[in-house]
Structure 1
């Protein structure tokens, strides 16, 4: 069942990504429509002509279709000024996009996004279907410029993102998969070696899990933004979060974890082999392996958070949030290591983990369903 779910996800991503790779980049945007950013201004009219501002990214699939469409539109509409900003090539354009987003009262919008008059259009379908009405509908004429604006703060553009990220990470971090491996590792070390070595190896294990998850999230974030599939990915993530959330709650009620949300039995033998080696390099390898194999346990929450972030900010802005998420994700493991180092028996923690497994499963399920609903609300 798990293999079919993973295969279906990869096939769906491939179907989305193939058209992006199949198209050649648009020609360089030049001429009077190209503007150097000398100040953060939202120009709506220039010399009696309405201005269309397009923010894009040449690695974005929808952008590859939108730019040629606008260039053809521009040829037949000399009464309109077009300006193009590649946010991937120039950081000042990303800052200008933030100013436009604040001025128009929206959160960060994935590219391509078009601003004209009082209208915001996102994605090729909206732009190609709504540009004519945006330009020539009654009341479309607007003041020439709005006052110069300061670049908006992170707080104003992201709202409750930080509390949401921290809460989701903490719930994700108490998942039974990583806990069970860490506790098994600590029990093995305590039986064969010193408490100091246990702290060193446990720390390396946690560092490896943190690094793997951060780099995986950064890679997926980059793919989502560069390919221009943030909206499609949000829908996929919402479905996965709702599905995995329901399964997690059912598992909690039944008191028995399903194969879909647990480390595969075939992979547990590999993990056991590295646990028994008890070496510093082995702890790093073990952390990476656990990060890979526990994705079915934790992937639903992480994917949902990545999709929410990709809808609200650029990769550069998102890196601090990924660092925060992954720190709080491993924080419960850091706490476990600390209390064991100060003398709490590992066996007592293992007993506590077993006793609270039902509550943890239900809590994780509720969080995934909440994130799935939040992702669906992004489409409204």
Structure 2
């Protein structure tokens, strides 16, 4: 009888003390499960490793104690979320997989997830049993997060685009011809410097004026969302085509060394017109006037080729707002004429035309690869901004 009473007392004690703890834990975790935000790239190797090596253990040990939100970063809205998390949590590295627990504990990459996720789950569940525990603060998602993040890169991208445009084989080929004419005409010393300054200044002002007009046009279209969307889609498609053509040009020129195998170049008719303008400009009595005439007309004609980089970059500039776009326009054109300025300075100090010609030939493949790569970068920017 005493034994039965002892068992009865133990049972009552267990029911009154231990079971309420389990019930309390169950109620807390049911009403406030641990939140796991899982960012991944569809089809990545680490994604399969997480699925096969982490998820089964997570499910087995903590079923009912957590909720998981899956975010494929191939979806634009999820990229916006990821960018917001990176900004709020100071995440600087990018991995194919990432988990954020309770909006504050970050595990970036498979190794970090494998080593720390389950331990963190134990800690988060334990925290929920403490008196005064408060639910984690949800990270608010801003639609402009990606645009804000990409905006930081706009200035260096504009600078790089302008410099690459100045190294465009279209512009370099004309410059080499111009330098050879100056050498034949024995223009050197002070005369060369006057011609160079006037030519570079005229080129800068002409290209800036062309960009100003295009920016104004893009600004007018900004009030029509459908038109803006059509421009973006068309620009992305054109940039993709230009990238492929640039890579093909690089490959074909490297194989043959024949300039005629390059597709993205000035038409022969425009080349002949440019050469004629340069010859006429050098014959003008005033070197300054000749430099200005050559700079204006040649830059305008070359824009048929150099515009491949210019126009898409202007679209990116316009997305930054017109107040910033004007500054970017000037920055782009300063970088565009930088190679011209450097060549004139080197020529003034003794650079010979054959050396410049040899460099220009070696520059074709590299510049085409760089241009093709940058076309792809611009396509991504146009799509994301």
TM-score, normalising length: structure 1: 0.55
Shift of the alpha carbon at 1:260?
4.9
* Secondary structure of 2:319 counterpart: helix
Indicate the residue corresponding to 1:203 in structure 2.
197
Indicate the residue corresponding to 1:218 in structure 2.
212
1:181 paired to 2:188: no
1:239 paired to 2:222: no
Render the CA deviation track for 1:21-70: whole Å, top value 9, x for unaligned: xxxxxxxxxxxxxxxxxxxxxxxxxxxxxxxxxxxxxxxxxxxxxxxxxx
Indicate the residue corresponding to 2:271 in structure 1.
268
Alignment coverage as a number of residue pairs: 224
Partners of 1:370 and 1:207 in 2: CA distance: 29
Q: Do 1:262 and 1:294's aligned partners in 2 also have CA atoms closer than 8 Å? A: no
Shift of the alpha carbon at 1:304?
1.4
Q: Do 2:243 and 2:372's aligned partners in 1 also have CA atoms closer than 8 Å? A: yes
Aligned pair in 2 of structure 1 residues 259, 357: CA closer, same or farther (>3 Å)? closer
Shift of the alpha carbon at 1:169?
1.2
Q: Which has the higher helix share?
A: 2
Partners of 2:201 and 2:263 in 1: CA distance: 26
**Counterparts of residues 24-35 of structure 1 (less than 5 Å):** none
Partners of 2:169 and 2:213 in 1: CA distance: 25
Partners of 2:374 and 2:180 in 1: CA distance: 31
Render the CA deviation track for 1:196-251: whole Å, top value 9, x for unaligned: 22222122222222112111111111111123244432322222222112111101
Of stretches 353-362 and 230-239 in structure 1, the one that deviates more from structure 2 is 230-239
Shift of the alpha carbon at 1:275?
1.6
Q: Please, what is the CA RMSD of the aligned residues?
A: 2.2
Match of 2:377 among 356, 362, 370: 370
Q: Do 2:247 and 2:368's aligned partners in 1 also have CA atoms closer than 8 Å? A: yes
* Secondary structure of 2:266 counterpart: coil
Match of 1:250 among 248, 254, 271: 248
Partners of 2:198 and 2:350 in 1: CA distance: 20
Indicate the residue corresponding to 1:282 in structure 2.
290
Aligned pair in 2 of structure 1 residues 209, 157: CA closer, same or farther (>3 Å)? same
TM-score, normalising length: structure 2: 0.54
Aligned pair in 2 of structure 1 residues 348, 157: CA closer, same or farther (>3 Å)? closer
Match of 1:347 among 348, 354, 357: 354
Gaps of 5+ in 1: 1-104, 106-154
* Secondary structure of 1:370 counterpart: helix
**Counterparts of residues 1-380 of structure 1 (less than 5 Å):** 158-195=151-188, 196-228=190-222, 229-255=227-253, 256=259, 260-277=263-280, 278=282, 279=284, 280-313=288-321, 315-378=322-385
Partners of 2:216 and 2:360 in 1: CA distance: 35
* Secondary structure of 2:305 counterpart: helix
Larger Rg: 2
